[in-house]
């Protein structure tokens, strides 16, 4: 995200805060819940919700007294999907990766101060994972975030490392100095392996997808039980780096071999 040398418009910021209060996990909210989550005064929340409702961005249910995202937001979703060429270009390659490894395959893209899951293909049987398409996570979480973060500009990395991190996993590494060393190693290897930090007994391997400007725009990952992945680690590392390079090439990046 670029630095904009201009004071934000407070009312617009507040309207965005209200819209972002709705999540996949909590799509229906009362005005009291929105007020509590956003810390915006109740009267201001009400006025903004009324404005959003007249524009079709939220809808009010008179029976439950709850608000939910409006149909007008679907148009923005369709617009976003039309420009998210990354997942379209990667779909066949990721499906092939899942077939070859037999493990769950994920893909996440940059989304401001977090990563956004845009692809998931699970293994047919066994361990399942709670991540889903549309979910957001901090950059230091799991294997996809660090694999992506390592290839961002240094200034952006430092800004992100200063952000507060919501507790998602007990063992997630948070020390900025240690994270910086980890990111250096990821840049050198072009992959990242994590075991037990996100989920105990689970190993993940992540690799970045590089765009035209030599900056990571996404990351892909293989996730599965450590007892299954660790025995095939070398082969899986090769497969995921190969897949990330193929996707990068399709997006216009020239990989230096």
Q: In what order do the strands lie in the sheet with 136-137?
A: 136-137, 114-121, 104-111, 216-225, 202-210, 192-195
110 DSSP assignment: E
Closest CA to 120 of 109, 111, 112: 109
In terms of Cα–Cα distance, which of 221, 227, 219, 172 is closest to 202? 227
Class of domain 10-76: mainly alpha
The single residue listed with the structure tokens 């499906």 is 95
pTM of the model: 0.66
- Round to whole Å and give the CA distance between 40 and 49: 12
CA 206 distance to own-chain centroid: 13
Distance of CA 130 to the CA centre of its chain: 13
Helices (H), 5-153: 10-21, 31-38, 42-54, 72-83, 85-101, 144-149
Residues linked to residue 52 through DSSP beta bridges, in sequence order: none
Q: For CATH 1.10.10.10, list the domain ranges present in the chain.
A: 10-76
Helix (H, G, I), strand (E, B) or coil at 178: helix
Sequential pLDDT tens for the chain (257 residues): 556 677 889 999 999 999 989 987 789 999 999 999 999 999 999 999 999 999 999 999 999 999 999 988 766 765 555 445 677 778 899 999 999 999 999 999 988 788 989 899 887 666 666 677 778 888 888 899 999 999 988 888 999 888 876 655 445 566 788 889 999 999 999 999 998 877 788 899 999 999 876 778 899 999 999 999 988 999 999 999 999 999 998 877 765 54
Q: What is the pLDDT of residue 24?
A: 74
CB distance 223 to 197 below 8 Å: no
Architecture of the domain spanning 84-250 = 2-Layer Sandwich (3.30)
C-alpha to C-alpha distance for 96 and 183, rounded to whole angstroms: 28
The 3-state DSSP class for residue 116 equals strand
CATH 3.30.450.40 domain position(s) in the chain:
84-250
Phi and psi at 111, nearest 5°, equal -145, 80
Tokens 């270009």 label which residue?
89
């Amino acid at each position: 995200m670029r630095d904009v040398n201009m004071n934000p418009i407070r009312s617009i910021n507040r309207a965005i805060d209200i819209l972002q209060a709705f999540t996949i996990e909590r799509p229906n909210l009362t005005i009291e819940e929105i007020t509590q989550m956003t810390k915006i005064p109740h009267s201001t929340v009400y006025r903004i919700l009324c404005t959003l409702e007249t524009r079709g961005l939220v809808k009010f249910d008179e029976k439950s007294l709850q608000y939910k995202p409006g149909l007008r937001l679907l148009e923005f979703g369709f617009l976003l999907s039309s420009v998210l060429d990354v997942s379209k270009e990667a779909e066949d390659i990721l499906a092939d990766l899942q077939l070859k490894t037999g493990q769950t395959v994920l893909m996440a893209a940059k989304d401001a101060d977090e990563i956004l899951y845009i692809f998931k293909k699970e293994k047919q049987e066994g361990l399942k994972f709670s991540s889903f398409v549309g979910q957001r996570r901090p950059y230091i979480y799991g294997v996809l975030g660090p694999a992506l973060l390592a290839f961002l500009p240094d200034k952006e990395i430092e800004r992100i490392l200063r952000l507060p991190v919501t507790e998602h996993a007990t063992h997630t590494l948070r020390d900025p100095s240690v994270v910086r060393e980890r990111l250096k190693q990821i840049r050198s290897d072009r992959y990242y392996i994590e075991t037990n930090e996100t989920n105990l007994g689970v190993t993940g391997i992540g690799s970045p997808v590089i765009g035209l400007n030599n900056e990571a725009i996404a990351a892909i990952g293989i996730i599965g039980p450590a007892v299954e992945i660790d025995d095939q680690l070398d082969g899986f590392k090769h497969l995921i780096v190969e897949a990330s390079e193929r996707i990068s090439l399709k997006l216009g990046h020239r990989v230096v071999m």
